């Protein structure tokens, strides 16, 4: 797996799903191996702050986050597409982010990308939440947060400039993965 595309909308068939479809298709066309997950399909309980993961390095809550953690550890890049809810991200994405505390240090140097889809306000705050998540994990932020403007299902495709940025994000993630691949092979030549 090269890229994990994470869809964070609770609504099936909405704009976020369209963005995920677009990204998955483009990554495949660029020769990458993407896997797409919709968070709404998984049972993700909120972090309890119990701190057990500080001792055990895994989360003690038994739910579907274990499946998602496995994906996160296996992928080289993570691209999160999120709707804007109240100038921020929906609770399901925040729960997902909080539950990665147990992965401290293990997502390091993976490439991250973020797309925020909303009607009008709060994209930047949603983007910042996701970029803070990437940086906390010492990941590489691959591209500026792409902001798309849409409300009803399907409207996202009318945001021509935003869709152009989505294409740039896909290409940049592809480029960075190629550069990192080269770096890794050179590093193994030296060692
Ligand atoms: C609970 C809720 C809160 C929302 N808050 C905002 C907001 O703060 N700013 C905004 O621009 N759009 C907001 N919206 C609109 C959604 O971001 C927009 O409809 C988006 O397309 C939803 O993604 P989806 O099509 O994948 O469901 C909100 C929608 C819902 C349901």
Dump pLDDT digits (tens) for 142-165. Answer: 999 999 999 999 999 999 999 999
Instruction: State the closest ligand 1 atom to the C-alpha of 155, by its place in the atom list counted from 1.
Output: 21
Residue 37 CB contacts under 8 Å (≥ 6 apart), including other chains = 4, 5, 6, 7, 68, 71
Which residue's alpha carbon is at the smallest distance from atom 2 of ligand 1?
Answer: 85
Report whether pLDDT(190) > 90: no
Report whether pLDDT(186) > 90: no
82 lines ligand 1 (CB under 6 A): no
Residue 173 confidence (pLDDT)? 98
Which residue's alpha carbon is at the smallest distance from atom 3 of ligand 1?
Answer: 85
Residue bearing tokens 């890049």: 77
Which of 75, 76, 84, 71 is closest to 146 using CA atoms?
Answer: 84
CATH code of 3-190, in short, is: 3.40.50.360
Run of H or E residues at 38: strand 34-38
Question: Would you state the structure tokens that stand for residue 68, as one six-digit string?
Answer: 């998602």
pLDDT for 2-20, tens place per residue? 999 999 999 999 999 999 9
118 lines ligand 1 (CB under 6 A): yes
144, 154 contact by CB (below 8 A) = no
Q: What's the angle, vertex CA 46, arms to CA 87 and CA 12, rounded to 5?
A: 60
162 lines ligand 1 (CB under 6 A): no
124 lines ligand 1 (CB under 6 A): no
Report whether pLDDT(139) > 70: yes
pLDDT for 27-70, tens place per residue? 999 999 999 999 999 999 999 999 999 999 899 999 999 999 99
Q: Where are the domains of the chain?
A: 3-190
Residue 57 confidence (pLDDT)? 84
Specify the DSSP class assigned to residue 88: B
pLDDT for 64-107, tens place per residue? 999 999 999 999 999 999 999 999 999 999 999 999 999 999 99
Rounded CA-CA distance 102/156 in Å is 35
Which residue's alpha carbon is at the smallest distance from atom 22 of ligand 1?
Answer: 83
What's the gap in Å between 151 CA and the centre of ligand 1? Answer: 6
Rounded CA-CA distance 44/39 in Å is 8
153 lines ligand 1 (CB under 6 A): yes
Which of 140, 51, 152, 39 is closest to 89 using CA atoms?
Answer: 39
Q: What pTM value is reported for the model? A: 0.96
């Amino acid at each position: 797996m090269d890229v994990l595309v994470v869809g964070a909308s609770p609504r099936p068939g909405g704009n976020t799903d369209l963005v995920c479809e677009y990204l998955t298709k483009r990554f495949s066309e660029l020769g990458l191996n993407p896997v797409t997950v919709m968070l709404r399909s998984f049972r993700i309980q909120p972090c309890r702050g119990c701190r057990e993961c500080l001792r055990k390095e895994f989360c003690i809550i038994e739910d579907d986050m274990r499946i998602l953690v496995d994906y996160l550890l296996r992928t080289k890049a993570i691209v999160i597409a999120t709707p804007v809810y109240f100038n921020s991200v929906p609770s399901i994405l925040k729960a997902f982010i909080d539950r990665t505390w147990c992965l401290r240090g293990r997502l390091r140097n993976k490439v991250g990308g973020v797309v925020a889809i909303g009607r009008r306000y709060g994209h930047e705050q949603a983007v910042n939440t996701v970029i803070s998540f990437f940086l906390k994990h010492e990941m590489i932020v691959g591209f500026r947060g792409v902001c798309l403007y849409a409300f009803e299902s399907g409207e996202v495709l009318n945001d021509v400039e935003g869709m152009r940025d989505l294409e740039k994000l896909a290409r940049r993630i592809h480029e960075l993965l190629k550069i990192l691949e080269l770096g890794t092979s050179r590093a193994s030549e030296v060692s």
